[in-house]
Chains A and B, each alone.
Chain A
Amino acid sequence: MRRLAELLQSKQISSTEIVRGCLERIEETEPVLNAFITVDEEGALAQAAAADRRRAAGEPLSPWDGIPLAVKDNISTSGLRTTCASRFLRNYTPIFDATVVERVKRAGLPIVGKTNLDEFAMGSSTEYSAFGVTKNPHDPLRVAGGSSGGSAAAVAAEQVPWSLGTDTGGSIRQPASFCGVVGLKPSYGRVSRYGAVALAPSLDQVGTLARKVEDAAILFSLIAGADPRDAVSAGAPGFPVPVWDDTVVRGLRVGVPEEFFSSGLNEEVEKAVKRALQNLADQGAVLQPISLPTNEYAIDTYLTLVTAEASSCLARFDGVRYGERVEAADANTMFAKSRGAGFGHEVKRRIMLGTYVLSASHYEAYYEQAQKVRTLIKQDVARAFQEVDVIVTPTTPTTAFKIGEKRNPLEMYLSDLYTATANLSGVCALSLPCGVDSQGLPIGLQIIGDHFGEELVFQVAHAVEESVGRGTGSEV
Chain B
Amino acid sequence: MKYDIVIGLEIHVALLTESKFLCSCATAFGAPPNTQCCPVCLGLPGALPLVNEQAVEYAVRAGLALNCEINHFSRFDRKNYFYPDLPKAYQITQDVFPICTNGYLEYYIDDVLRRTTITRLHLEEEAGKLVHSSGSIVDSEYSLVDYNRAGIPLIEIVTAPDITSPRQARLFLEQLRLLMLYMGVSDTKMEEGSLRCDANISLKPAGSTVLGTKVEIKNLNSFRALERALEYEAARQSRVLEQGGEIKQESRTWDERSGRTLSMRSKGDAPDYRIFPEPDLPPLRLEPDWVFRIRETLPERPLERLHRLEESYGLSRYESTFLVNYADFCQVFLELAEEGEDNTDLANLLMGDYARLAREQGHLEPQRLAGLLQILQEGLITHNQGKAVLEELFKSPLSAREIVKEKGWEVLKDPAQLKGVVQQVLTANSELVERYRGGEEKLWGFFVGQVMRTVQGKADPQMVNELLKGELTQKS
Interface positions of A (Cβ within 8 A of B): 75-76, 82, 84, 89, 92, 94-96, 98, 193-198, 200-202, 228-232, 234, 308-309, 311-312, 315-318, 320-322, 331-332, 335, 355, 358-360, 363, 367
Contacts and interface: CB of A to CB of B under 8 A. Distances in A.
Given A358-B80, A360-B272, A231 B46 contact: no
Interface stretch (B87-95, B112-120, B398-406): B87-95
| Interface bracket on B | 20 to 34
Interface of B: 39, 42-51, 78, 80, 82-84, 87-90, 143, 145, 272, 274-276, 279-282
A355 B44 contact: no
Contacts of A232: 280-282
A234 B42 CA distance: 23
Q: Which 3 A-B pairs have the closest CB atoms?
A: A315-B89, A358-B274, A202-B279
Contacts of B281: 231-232
A229 B143 CA distance: 32
Nearest to A76: B46
A84 B78 CA distance: 23
Contact of A230 (B39, B48, B87, B143): B48
Residue in B47, B48, B80, B88 whose Cβ sees the most chain A Cβ within 10 Å: B48
15 contacts: A95-B44, A194-B47, A195-B46, A198-B280, A229-B50, A231-B48, A231-B280, A231-B281, A309-B279, A312-B78, A316-B45, A318-B84, A320-B145, A331-B143, A332-B82
A98 B45 CA distance: 10
B77 to A, nearest CB: 11
Given A234-B282, A312-B78, A194 B274 contact: no
Given A200-B279, A321-B87, A358-B274, 19 more contacts: A76-B45, A82-B45, A84-B45, A98-B46, A193-B46, A193-B48, A194-B47, A197-B45, A202-B279, A228-B50, A231-B280, A232-B282, A234-B282, A315-B82, A315-B88, A316-B43, A316-B89, A320-B84, A363-B274
A360 B80 CA distance: 12
Contacts of A95: 39, 44
A316 B276 contact: no
Residue in B43, B49, B145 whose Cβ sees the most chain A Cβ within 10 Å: B43
Contact of A231 (B49, B83, B89, B143): B49
A230 B49 CA distance: 8
A96 to B, nearest CB: 5
A89 B45 contact: yes
Contact of B44 (A84, A94, A196, A200): A94
A358 B50 CA distance: 24
A128 B43 CA distance: 25
B50 A308 contact: no
Contacts of A315: 80, 82, 88-90
B276 A94 contact: no
B157 to A, nearest CB: 24
Residue in B51, B274, B282 whose Cβ sees the most chain A Cβ within 10 Å: B274
Query: Does more than half of chain A's interface fall in helix, strand or loop, or is it mixed?
Result: loop
Given A202-B279, A363-B276, A335 B45 contact: no
A98 B48 CA distance: 11
Given A316-B87, A367-B276, A94 B48 contact: no
A231 B274 contact: no
Nearest to A335: B82
A441 to B, nearest CB: 34
Contacts of A194: 46-48
Nearest to A355: B274
A318 B89 contact: yes
A95 B38 CA distance: 10
A451 B45 CA distance: 27
A316 B82 CA distance: 8
Given A84-B45, A312-B80, A359-B272, A201 B280 contact: yes
Contacts of B274: 311-312, 355, 358-360, 363
A90 to B, nearest CB: 13
A198 B143 CA distance: 29
Contacts of A231: 48-51, 280-282
Contact of A195 (B47, B78, B80, B275): B47
Contacts of A317: 45
Given A201-B279, A316-B88, A196 B83 contact: no
Contacts of B43: 316, 321
Contacts of A312: 78, 80, 89-90, 274, 276
A96 B51 CA distance: 20
Residue in B43, B82, B90, B272 whose Cβ sees the most chain A Cβ within 10 Å: B82
Contacts of B45: 76, 82, 84, 89, 92, 94, 197-198, 316-317
Nearest to A320: B84
A63 to B, nearest CB: 29
A72 to B, nearest CB: 12
Contacts of B145: 320
A331 B83 contact: yes
B101 to A, nearest CB: 22
A346 to B, nearest CB: 18
B151 to A, nearest CB: 13
B127 to A, nearest CB: 12
A230 B40 CA distance: 11
Contacts of A363: 274, 276
A98 B47 CA distance: 8
A28 B88 CA distance: 41
Contact of A94 (B46, B49, B50, B82): B46
A320 B44 CA distance: 11
A84 B308 CA distance: 63
Contacts of B44: 76, 94-96, 321-322
B21 to A, nearest CB: 13
B46 A197 contact: yes
Residue in B39, B45, B87, B143 whose Cβ sees the most chain A Cβ within 10 Å: B45
Residue in A196, A312, A317 whose Cβ sees the most chain B Cβ within 10 Å: A312
Nearest to A359: B272
B48 A229 contact: yes
B44 to A, nearest CB: 7
A331 B50 CA distance: 29
B27 to A, nearest CB: 19
Nearest to A305: B279
Contacts of B279: 200-202, 309
B140 to A, nearest CB: 11
Residue in A95, A229, A317 whose Cβ sees the most chain B Cβ within 10 Å: A229
Nearest to A189: B282
Contacts of B88: 315-316
A358 B276 contact: yes
A100 to B, nearest CB: 10
B39 A96 contact: yes
Contacts of A331: 82-84, 143
A363 B87 CA distance: 24
B46 A198 contact: yes
A85 to B, nearest CB: 13
A329 to B, nearest CB: 11
B50 A196 contact: no
Residue in B44, B51, B88 whose Cβ sees the most chain A Cβ within 10 Å: B44
Nearest to B50: A231
B272 A196 contact: no
Contacts of A358: 80, 274-276
